[in-house]
Structure 1
Amino acid sequence: MSAPVRVLLVDDHAVMRAGFRMILESAGDITVVGEAANGVQAVEAASALRPDVICMDVQMPDMDGLEATRRIAADAESRAAVVVVTTFDRDDYLFDALAAGASGFLLKNAGPEELISAVRVAAAGDALLAPEVTRRVIARFALAPPGEPAPGVDRETPIGGRDRGVSPGSRPSGGVSPAERTPGTPGPGAAPAVELTEREAEVLRLVAQAMSNAEIAQRLYIGEATVKTHVSNVLQKLGARDRVAAVVYAHRHGLA
C-alpha cells in the first residue's frame, strides 16, 4: 500500500481545523501531520514537517495565507501542493492565490467528499479548479495582450521545474530557456510557441478539458505513470508551474 497523504491544516479557527481533520482522517489514506493558526506558523510547520498538501486559509492574523503560500512556494526543498480553502469566492483571492503558487482553490462550503478529493488530487499533481473557476481563469488570461504571461508562467524562473531538480534560471531539458520563450505572443489558434510531440499535445488537450491523469490514461489506453510523464514534460517545456497554467496556454493557442 502507498503511504498516506501527509496534510498540514492552516486556519485561524480551531473548530474549522478540527472539522477538516475529522473529515480528512476518515478517508483512511490521508493523515494530518500538523496544524497552524496563521501564516507565520504555516511557513515554519511546512519547513519542519514537509507535508504533501497544505490546506491554507486566506484571512489570518500576523501573516495571511497568500503571503505564506508565496514563501512556501519559494522554498526549493518544499514538495507541498498548497490548496487555498476560503469562505470568500472572490476573484482577487483566486488570482492572487494562483500567482502566489497555490495548486488549487476550494471554497469552505464544499462537501466532505470534495475536500477529500481535493487533497488527493493535489497530492497527485492534478489540477484543482472547479469548471466554473477554470472558466474565470481562462476568461481573464486566455485572451491577454500579446507578451503577457499566463498565471503560473514566469519568464525568469521555470517554477514548475523545481520538483524535477531544475534550478531557477536553468534551461529545462528538452525545452528552451524562459528568456527565449514568449508564452503570450501567439494569439488563439496560432502554432504553439514551444514544440510538443503529438502525444504531448494530445495530453495537453485533455488536461485542458479538466481530465485527471487517470481519466487521460483511460481515454488514451496508456498507463497512468506514462500520462504523468507526459504532463511533466509538457509543464517543463512550457515553463509552467502547474496544470492551471497549461490549461490557459492550451486555450491561448487553440489546443483546447
Structure 2
Amino acid sequence: MDYFCVVSRDDIAERWSQALQKELKRVDPESLAGGPSMLGICLAHWDCLQQAGRERLLKQAHDTKLLLLVLTDHPKTDQGREVIRRGAKGYGNTFVTASLLMEMVKVVKAGDIWAGPEVLQSVLRQLLEQVDPPTETLVERFGLSEREAEVLAEVMAGVSNKVAARRLDITERTVKAHMSAILNKTGARDRVELILLAQRAEQNAV
C-alpha cells in the first residue's frame, strides 16, 4: 500500500515519516487540482490546503478507496464531523504523538474510522437521527446472522465496541469480528457508510 502526504512544511512531512517509519510520497498542495488520483493512505495537513484542494481530496476519498487522514493544527468537532461525513477516515491533530499516529493508520487500514470520541459520536448521532428503523432491512437484505444483527443494533445505537461487548456479554474482539463480517456482507467500508447504507435501505423499503 502506498503512503502519501499532502503538506507544504518539511518539518511536518519529516515528523509523519519518522512516526510511521515509512517513506511518504509527498504531494504538493498546489498540484492537487490537476494531479493524478492517489490510491493508498494519504495524510493531509488541512491547514496548508486551499478550499479547492480540500474539496478534491474529500471527493477522492468519497469516490475511491483512498484512505484520507485529515490532520489539523487546531482540531474542531464541527470540522471533524464534516470531513468524516464526507469520506475522510481519520481526523486528528497535526502534531499527534508517533504512537497515536501509528494507531490511527492501523485503525483506518483495518476499515474503521479514527477520530476523537466527540467527533465520532457527533457524526453517528447526526446520521442516526435520520435512520428509523435502522436494522431490519439490512438484516434481511444481506442475510446477517442473529448475532450479527445484535451487533448491528448496537452500532446503530451509536455505542462503542467496548460498550457493545458489555451489553451483549461477549468480548470486544468478538464484536470486532462480527463488525468485519457485517462490513464484508454489506460492502460498507466503515460504520458511517454502514449507517448511510441503512438509511438508503429504509427509504427504499418504504
Alignment length, in residue pairs?
187
Partner of 2:80: 94
**C-alpha separation between the residues in 2 aligned to 1:39 and 1:229?**
40
- Matched letter for residue 17 of structure 1: A
Distance 1:201 1:43, change over 3 A: farther
Mapped to 2, the partners of 1:191 and 1:230 lie a distance apart of 12
After superposition, give the CA deviation of every residue in 1:212-249 in whole Å (9 maximum; x if it has no partner).
Answer: 9xx9xx8277697775233322x43xxx5522344688
Given that 1:8 and 1:35 are in contact with CA atoms closer than 8 Å, whether structure 2 keeps it comes out as yes
Q: 1:9/1:86 Cα in 2 relative to 1: closer, same or farther (>3 Å)?
A: same
SS in structure 1 of the partner of residue 129 of structure 2: coil
Classify 1:136/1:220 alpha carbon distance in 2 versus 1 (closer, same or farther; 3 Å): closer
Distance 1:105 1:221, change over 3 A: closer
Task: Write out aligned runs for 1:1-256 (5 A).
Answer: 6-25=2-21, 31-38=22-29, 40-41=31-32, 44=35, 46-47=37-38, 50-51=39-40, 53-59=41-47, 60-61=49-50, 63-75=52-64, 79-144=65-130, 184=131, 186=132, 192-195=136-139, 196-205=144-153, 208-211=158-161, 219=171, 228-233=180-185, 235-236=186-187, 240-246=188-194
For residues 131 and 120 of structure 1, the distance between their equivalents in structure 2, rounded to whole angstroms, comes to: 17
Q: Considering fraction of residues, name the structure with more helix.
A: 2
Q: TM-score, length-normalised on structure 1?
A: 0.58
Tell me how far apart the structure 1 counterparts of residues 173 and 194 of structure 2 sit (CA, whole Å): 22
Cα contact 2:127–2:195 (8 A) shared by 1? no
**Identity fraction in percent:** 19
Change beyond 3 A, Cα 1:221–1:74 = closer
